Structure 1
């Protein structure tokens, strides 16, 4: 299968590292014009360099904006008024006991993880409908289905994304625009690597070995019995954005390594 997105403009939010950056590289490799996003100019510039290093000749630019706010979303839309592909990758996570989470923290997670995607989809979907083609992908998580006891506030936001994506797919019925969710499982992103660094230092094991041990301790239902790479998750995102995925919409596409124990 040759995915060709030449002539398409793709925005990937929160794309200065991790799954977002890998997705930006994958979309650029497929020929799309890619806009990366982050909160600081330095991070955005570094991401642009990373994409062009990985894909020489890529058409890539960056927009500095904090999409966890309505103002930041408006700034992105002003800088890039239209797109063909929107990958709502931006998200935050972190373990906290339910009884220690303040109202402000609940609101922060909702604004960043849910409302950023809601605001951008509301801004860009009408343009996609007008042209008769578009792709929107929301980055959910296996935690949307397996709500973590230590991250209830995070799981809640990822479940919300499934509802938004499914509803929007129905709203865009018959327009040539698809809306899907991608559900990664444990993934060896920079954030996870930082979390596991002390264990790597202590044991002398490789990062991949420590990550596999973490997965089996905390997600024992994993079938691949290791953390996925960011590229493996990005592969699913790029496919969902392709012309070949024209009959896939309203779907929750799992890249969870088999963690979710259901058919």
Structure 2
């Protein structure tokens, strides 16, 4: 399917691995100019080297999205190298503080919300003028099943991702008349470095290996994931790419769940 974005420029955050990296790959293969960003320039350069060299133009700039000055510098570098962006995919995030409510201190809450909610706010603020200017724009936030089906051992993450959904919906009401469409994608238990780390920790606690940890997690913690496996990051990236495209010209303010049925309600 031709997504109609070969003349567009996209910025993808959290792109040194996982969903962000696969989204960048998908957009590049559609001919878009893509800028990837993440915390560490070395890891980002390695990620860029694994992306297709025969597709669209690619740039890689590291930035700490919890630092307003760093985000402003990122915006300047992107505009100088690639021009104004048309597409913003906000994929950067962390699991953050985990444990039951009484086990998590205020700093744990603050750190998680800083990365998972305030960083997306900063990124949108820095690039909003670009996205509004051309009469055509797309923002896609990567949220989570946890935003609508919170789990008691990761409430800071759940609350932050619920905030991301509210942010996406609010922005979608503000700027659609200018051609800027805003949506969210909510994955569940995707095979990424973040869930690898979660499963390795679980395996250590249970004295087993990652494969058993994954299967026991599915049966004990995610019983509604009817397909019975972790999702692949490219399965999420395909949905994100659609929402970035001309093909999604009547989709605005939506939350697409890519979760194998994990959320128990419609």
Please report the TM-score for the alignment, with normalisation by the length of structure 2: 0.91
Classify the secondary structure of the residue corresponding to 1:47: helix
User: CA separation in 1, counterparts of 2:207 and 2:50?
Assistant: 31
Residue of structure 1 in register with 2:32 after alignment: 32
Residue of structure 1 in register with 2:4 after alignment: 4
Classify the secondary structure of the residue corresponding to 2:128: helix
Q: Which runs of 5+ in 1 are unaligned?
A: none
Residues 173-228 of structure 1, C-alpha deviations (whole Å, 9 max, x = no match): 211110001000111112222333474996578x4x75344222211111212110
User: CA separation in 1, counterparts of 2:138 and 2:116?
Assistant: 19
Residue of structure 1 in register with 2:258 after alignment: 255
Match of 2:57 among 59, 67, 89: 59
Match of 1:188 among 182, 188, 191: 191
Cα distance, 1:111 vs. partner? 1.5
User: CA separation in 2, counterparts of 1:85 and 1:221?
Assistant: 33
Residue of structure 1 in register with 2:42 after alignment: 42
CA contact (8 A) 1:178 1:248 kept: yes
Cα distance, 1:102 vs. partner? 2.2
Residue 167 (1) aligns with residue 170 (2): yes
Cα distance, 1:127 vs. partner? 2.1
CA contact (8 A) 1:16 1:37 kept: yes
RMSD: 2.0
CA contact (8 A) 1:73 1:119 kept: yes
Cα distance, 1:262 vs. partner? 1.2
Q: Which runs of 5+ in 2 are unaligned?
A: none
Cα distance, 1:61 vs. partner? 1.1
Cα distance, 1:97 vs. partner? 2.5
Residue of structure 2 in register with 1:233 after alignment: 236
Larger CA deviation: 235-244 vs 96-105: 96-105
CA contact (8 A) 1:221 1:261 kept: yes
User: CA separation in 2, counterparts of 1:227 and 1:212?
Assistant: 9
Classify the secondary structure of the residue corresponding to 2:50: helix
Classify the secondary structure of the residue corresponding to 1:51: coil
CA contact (8 A) 1:186 1:228 kept: yes
Match of 1:73 among 65, 71, 80: 71
CA contact (8 A) 1:69 1:111 kept: no
Match of 2:123 among 95, 99, 120: 120
Match of 1:144 among 147, 150, 172: 147
Match of 1:87 among 65, 86, 89: 89
Aligned length, in residue pairs? 259
User: CA separation in 2, counterparts of 1:76 and 1:204?
Assistant: 40
User: CA separation in 1, counterparts of 2:213 and 2:109?
Assistant: 31
Distance 1:35 1:105, change over 3 A: same
CA contact (8 A) 1:69 1:112 kept: no
User: CA separation in 1, counterparts of 2:136 and 2:70?
Assistant: 26
Residue 219 (1) aligns with residue 217 (2): no
Please report the TM-score for the alignment, with normalisation by the length of structure 1: 0.92
CA contact (8 A) 2:29 2:55 kept: no
Distance 1:204 1:14, change over 3 A: closer
CA contact (8 A) 2:176 2:252 kept: no
